[in-house]
């Protein structure tokens, strides 16, 4: 936490064009925090040009928000704000550094302090929760449209209020958002609903899964598997939580092959710390939930070997 909300708001007031970015392969919190802040700022500053930038990779999350058309020329003299993005390799749309000033609002460990100004709180349950706090602190508009995106982000990143960062304050701001009249049941359904093809893929992950005796596990989903079911590599992210439902699994990877032959890497854990492993592979995230990339199967094997080692160390210290 390097700067205050007041300092960030003062900087926002100085610019006529504001462009908001989030991370690639977004989850509800990435899109929710970006959209919630953009919508509130548009209401507060109707004469400013406020855009949401990304690589149009929102996939099944377009019910939260879709990206604006943003040109390189828009960045001239613009303020750029990233939300929910720990490091520069994960910023969606690489024009983020072409603006005049850069602000980072995030809840991941600040391993890459890339911005000119930042508000980072790793104890927050979601970037969307930080945006709610910012809106409240600066008395910005909180309409149903703003609240809808932010509530989706909080529900998504807390696993429906299940994960350790969930606190009494989390429920307080969730209640504030719900009081605007948003349809919280619709949001919960949108986050949890899967297609029949995705459900079949979730079931097949168990067939693909390899489990080490220490409690580490992994599954590799190849493009051929996805094409057989008519699923994109973005839609395959619904499988990430599946191994965690097995009692004896403590940490796991789901590797999803992308069309170019590289792999999107999902790290999840019930105890072993895995975000430092993700940082070694062009990624990052939370202690128990992170993302990274692998260039080939050799790196896939290397990544899982690292997860096995941290799981063994965790077992040794927690027996």
Domain covering 5-191 in this structure, CATH number: 3.90.1640.10
For the chain, residues classed under CATH 3.90.1640.10 are: 5-191
Q: Point out the least confidently predicted range of 21-25, 55-59, 79-83.
A: 55-59
Query: Is the predicted pLDDT of residue 234 greater than 80, yes or no?
Result: no
| Domain 197-318 coded CATH 3.40.50.720 | no
Query: Is the predicted pLDDT of residue 1 greater than 70, yes or no?
Result: no
Residue 287 CA, chain-centre distance (Å), reads: 13
Q: What is the pLDDT of residues 253-304, one digit of tens each?
A: 999 999 999 999 999 999 999 999 999 998 888 889 888 999 999 999 999 9
Q: Hey, what are 206's tokens?
A: 């168990």
Query: Is the predicted pLDDT of residue 39 greater than 90, yes or no?
Result: yes
The whole-model pTM stands at 0.85
Q: If you average pLDDT over residues 187-205, what whole number do you get?
A: 90
Instruction: Report pLDDT for 162.
Output: 86
Query: Is the predicted pLDDT of residue 319 greater than 80, yes or no?
Result: no
| C-alpha to C-alpha distance for 272 and 168, rounded to whole angstroms | 25
For the chain, residues classed under CATH 3.10.310.30 are: 197-318
Could you tell me which residues come within 8 angstroms of residue 223 by beta carbon, excluding any fewer than 6 positions away?
233, 257, 258, 259
The answer to whether 20 touches 52, Cβ cutoff 8 Å, is yes
Instruction: Report pLDDT for 40.
Output: 98
């Amino acid at each position: 936490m390097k700067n205050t909300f007041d300092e960030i708001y003062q900087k926002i007031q100085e610019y006529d064009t504001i462009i908001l970015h989030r991370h690639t392969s977004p989850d509800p919190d990435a899109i929710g925090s970006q959209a919630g802040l953009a919508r509130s700022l548009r209401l507060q500053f109707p004469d400013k040009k406020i855009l949401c930038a990304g690589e149009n990779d929102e996939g099944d999350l377009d019910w939260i928000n879709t990206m604006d058309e943003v040109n390189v020329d828009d960045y001239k003299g613009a303020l750029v704000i990233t939300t929910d993005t720990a490091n520069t390799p994960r910023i969606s749309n690489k024009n983020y550094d072409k603006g005049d000033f850069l602000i980072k609002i995030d809840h991941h460990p600040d391993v890459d302090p890339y911005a000119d100004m930042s508000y980072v709180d790793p104890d927050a349950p979601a970037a969307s929760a930080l945006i709610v706090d910012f809106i409240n602190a600066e008395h910005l508009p909180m309409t149903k449209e703003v609240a809808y995106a932010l509530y989706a982000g909080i529900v998504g990143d807390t696993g429906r209020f299940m994960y350790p960062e969930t606190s009494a304050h989390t429920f307080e701001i969730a209640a504030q958002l719900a009081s605007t009249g948003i349809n919280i049941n619709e949001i919960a359904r949108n986050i949890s609903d899967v297609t029949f093809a995705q459900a079949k893929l979730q079931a097949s992950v168990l067939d693909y899964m390899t489990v080490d005796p220490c409690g580490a596990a992994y599954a590799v989903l190849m493009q051929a598997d996805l094409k057989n079911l008519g699923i994109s590599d973005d839609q395959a992210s619904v499988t990430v939580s599946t191994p965690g439902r097995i009692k004896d699994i403590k940490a796991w990877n789901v590797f999803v092959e992308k069309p170019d032959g590289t792999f999107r890497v999902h790290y999840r854990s019930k105890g072993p710390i895995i975000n430092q492993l993700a940082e070694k592979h062009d990624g990052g995230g939370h202690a128990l939930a992170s993302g990274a990339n692998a260039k080939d199967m050799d790196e896939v094997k290397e990544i899982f070997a690292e997860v096995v080692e941290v799981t063994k160390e965790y077992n040794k210290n927690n027996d």
